[in-house]
Structure 1
Amino acid sequence: MKRQKRDLIRRRVLCGEGLYEFEGCTKCSAGFLANYLDNYIVTTGHCYDRDTSNKFFHRPWGSRPTTYFIGQMVYHSVQNYDFGLIEFRGTHTDPKSMIRNLYSSRYRELRIHDTTQVSSHGVHLCKSGLTTHVTCGYVRAFDGIYIDKEGLLTDLIIIDMYYAGGDLNEITAILPLDIILSQVKIKAIFKFVIK
Structure 2
Amino acid sequence: MIFQTLLFILFIILQNHSIHSQYQPLANLWNVAENEVPELLVREKNLITGNHLLASLLNEENFGESYIDVKSNKIYINILNLSNKQKILEDSKMEKYKDLLEFNGVFNSLANLNSTFNKLISLNYNDKENNDFINQAKKFNVIIRHRGKEEIPTSSVSNYQYGPNQNKRNLIKRSPPSKRPKLAIEVLGGHGLHNNDHNNSYGCSAGFWVFDEEFPEILLLATVGHCAIKGPFKPDGSVDFYYLGLKALMTNTFVGTMETYDFDPIDRGYVAVNTSNTRLSIFPSIINPDSQTYQVQFIVGQKILSEKDIGSTICKSGYRTHVTCGTLRGIHDTYIMDGKTYKSVLEAELFSAEGDSGSPVFQYVIDDDGVIRGNVNIVGLLLAGNSTVNMTLFHPVDKILVDEDIGIELTLLTVSNIGKIR
Indicate the TM-score class for this superposition, using the shorter chain for normalisation. Answer: 0.7 to 0.9
Q: Which amino acid aligns with 1:154?
A: K
In structure 2, the partner of 1:186 is 410
* Aligned counterpart for 1:14 among listed residues 188, 191, 207: 188
Q: Say which structure is richer in helix.
A: 2
Post-superposition Cα deviations, 1:8-54, rounded to whole Å, max 9, x if no partner, equal: 87211111100111134221111010001221000001012354231
- Deviation larger for 99-108 or 70-79: 99-108
Give unmatched runs, 5+ long, in structure 1.
1-7
Q: CA RMSD in A?
A: 2.2
Does the 8 Å CA contact 2:192/2:203 hold for their aligned counterparts? yes
Q: How does 1:1-195 map to 2 (within 5 A)?
A: 10-23=184-197, 24-36=200-212, 37=215, 38-49=218-229, 51-53=232-234, 54-89=239-274, 91-119=278-306, 120-143=309-332, 145-149=335-339, 151-164=340-353, 166-167=386-387, 170-183=390-403, 184-191=408-415, 195=422
The structure number with the bigger radius of gyration is: 2
- Given the superposition, is the C-alpha separation of residues 96 and 155 from structure 1 closer, same or farther in structure 2, using an over 3 Å criterion? same
Counterpart of 1:29, as a letter, is S
Q: Cα–Cα, structure 1 residues 181 and 92, in superposed 2: closer, same or farther, change >3 Å?
A: same
Quote the Cα distance in structure 2 between the aligned partners of 1:167 and 1:81: 22
- Alpha-carbon distance change, 103 to 28 in structure 1, aligned in 2, over 3 angstroms: same
Could you tell me how far apart the structure 2 residues matched to 1:63 and 1:47 are?
Answer: 15
Pairwise CA distance, 1:61:
0.8
Deviations 1:103-124 (A, max 9, x none): 2234321111111222211111
Distance 1:106 1:169 in 2: 31
String of CA shifts for 1:82-106, please: whole Å, max 9, x gaps: 0101101472322332111122234
From the two aligned structures, give the one with the greater strand fraction.
Answer: 1
User: SS at the partner of 2:331?
Assistant: strand
Using the TM superposition, name which of 160-169 and 78-87 deviates more.
160-169
Moved over 3 A (4+): 165-169, 191-195
Q: Contact 2:350–2:391 (CA<8 Å) still a contact in 1? A: yes
Cα distance in structure 2, aligned partners of 1:47 and 1:105: 30
Structure 2, unpaired ranges of 5+: 1-181, 355-385
Q: Quote the Cα distance in structure 2 between the aligned partners of 1:9 and 1:44.
A: 22
* Contact 2:183–2:254 under 8 Å retained in 1: no
Instruction: Map Cα deviations across residues 121-143 of structure 1 (whole Å, 9 max, x no partner).
Output: 11111111111211111111111
- TM-score when scaled to structure 1? 0.86
Q: Highest relative contact order (Cα 8 Å, sep 6+), 1 or 2? A: 1
SS at match of 1:46: helix
Structure 2 contact 183–253 (Cα < 8 Å) conserved: no
